[in-house]
Amino acid sequence: MHSEILDAVHRALAEDIGSGDVTSEYCVPAERRASGYFLARQALVLAGVDLLDVIYTARGGIEELNLLHKDGDHLEDGDRIATVRGSARTLLECERVALNFLQRLSGVAKLANKFASAVEGTKCKVLDTRKTTPGLRRLEKAAAAAGGITNHRMGLFDAILIKNNHIAAAGGVRQAIENTRKSGLPIEIEVRTIDELNEALASGATHLLLDNLSPAQAADWVRIVKGRATIELSGGIDLQTIRSYAESGADFVSAGAITHSAPAVDISFRLELL
């Protein structure tokens, strides 16, 4: 598992437990053992379930953990997600952190699945964005992929995306493309006008980002490009409009809402004494 994910889990545990779960320490005898299970309380797409092993391993006191489903599985209300057995104190102190990750990440996966389903039957793929919770990007992007969409770049380091402020700083569309060509990385450029579109194509751009167009405008611009470059559409695209954008002929549609506005799903943890 990636070090960033392990770090996120350990930070979450330290944030919640701190110097110790005083409620459980005073309330529950140290020798008490228990079992527990995670339960879906609504229809959802599961994500983050592998983190349970990381969480319990970090705290110790667990005898057995059984994952009953995997990321990307579609669950219904009442489905059990995982079972665990061990120290009652450990189960109690890990409960909230485990639920926070499962509820948040499964919420992202569920919303991602809605976006992916909305474009079925078109050639268009849905992309996520960098609009993620600070420190949780790798987890949220994995959850988005579990929901059925395609991950865009992970960060500023793995692909070039020239946006309007980069164009201004570089001195124009052509200059921005020429300056970045030597990187050897994938290059995408945002264009906001027909003139910028034509200049980008004349400069050899092969991946265009068209931002804040209406579906009708997007279709017009796609016809102008005529397959000379792949096209991504972005800008306020939601579940109500994404189908219209996908039908414009674009190759990709990106939606920040998948990660920045996904509501947590309802998952509970039930504990039983042994």
CATH code of 129's domain = 3.20.20.70
Write down the pTM of the prediction: 0.96
pLDDT, tens digit (0-9, with 9 covering 90-100), for 148-193: 999 999 999 999 999 999 999 999 999 999 999 999 888 999 999 9
Mean pLDDT of the chain: 97
- Tally of domains in the chain: 2
Q: In a 3-state reduction of DSSP, which class is residue 84?
A: strand
Catalytic residue among 50, 53, 211, 247: 211
96 is catalytic: yes
Q: Are residues 153 and 184 in the same domain?
A: yes
182 is catalytic: no
Catalytic residue among 33, 114, 131, 243: 131
Q: Are residues 181 and 207 in the same domain?
A: yes
What average pLDDT score do residues 221-250 get?
96
Catalytic residue among 73, 93, 140, 190: 190
Residue 61 scores a pLDDT above 90: no
CB 52: neighbour CB atoms within 10 A?
22
Q: Are residues 250 and 139 in the same domain?
A: yes
195 is catalytic: no
Q: Are residues 105 and 122 in the same domain?
A: no
Q: CA angle at residue 26 from 23 to 31, to 5 degrees?
A: 110
* Per-residue model confidence (pLDDT) at position 51: 98
Instruction: Give percent of the chain above pLDDT 90.
Output: 97
Q: Are residues 161 and 242 in the same domain?
A: yes
CA-CA-CA-CA torsion sign (107, 78, 72, 3): positive
Q: Are residues 7 and 132 in the same domain?
A: no
Q: Are residues 133 and 218 in the same domain?
A: yes
Catalytic residue among 96, 125, 130, 192: 96
Q: Are residues 123 and 42 in the same domain?
A: no
Q: Are residues 172 and 82 in the same domain?
A: no
Q: Are residues 81 and 131 in the same domain?
A: no
CA atoms within a 13 Å half-sphere pointing along the CA-CB vector of 269? 23
Say if residues 52 and 65 touch (Cβ distance below 8 Å).
Answer: yes
Catalytic residue among 32, 33, 125, 163: 163
Pairwise CA distance, residues 213 & 159, whole Å: 24
What average pLDDT score do residues 107-112 get?
98
Q: Are residues 50 and 79 in the same domain?
A: yes
What average pLDDT score do residues 198-226 get?
96
226 is catalytic: no
**Structural domain of 223:** 116-260
What average pLDDT score do residues 244-269 get?
97
Q: CA angle at residue 70 from 99 to 34, to 5 degrees?
A: 50
199 is catalytic: no
| CATH number of the domain bearing residue 97 | 3.90.1170.20
Q: In a 3-state reduction of DSSP, which class is residue 82?
A: strand
CA-CA-CA-CA torsion sign (132, 138, 143, 145): positive
Per residue in 193-215, is it b (16+ CB within 10 Å) or e — as a string?
eeebbebbbebebebbbbeebeb
